[in-house]
Structure 1
Amino acid sequence: MTYSLQTKSIQCPYCGEQIEVIVDCSVNNQEYVEDCSVCCKPIIFSVASFQGEVVSIEAHTEDE
């Protein structure tokens, strides 16, 4: 199995800080939860990938 990892910079929807996340681009559409490395609150990520590249990444709070 080939893994295609990319580092992406996003803005935390809670504290507003820029953080870097690592995305597995071998999965076309995925949703997962990862804690902010600054404020430690859970961010819900929705990621779309195509042919090993991130097409879109959205980060939102649990309330959205």
Structure 2
Amino acid sequence: MLVEAICKEKGITQTQVMKSGEPKMKNLNLFEKINTLKEKNIIDEAQKQVLPQIRDMGNHTKNT
């Protein structure tokens, strides 16, 4: 949830893709958002590696 909020604040929510020869906007998934945060030097490599693990732990806790 924190990653989503940071991405929304930074405008990291969508990317342009070509569909049927025309540009369309596509929502980024969590992993794409994390990668974009790293590309923009908002987070470092260690944070990029740990954020998906935190997500997985949260999902595991929620499902048990």
> More strand per residue: 1 or 2?
1
> What TM-score range do you get, normalising by the shorter chain?
0.3 to 0.5
**Greater C-alpha radius of gyration:** 2
Q: Give the TM-score taking structure 1 as reference length.
A: 0.33
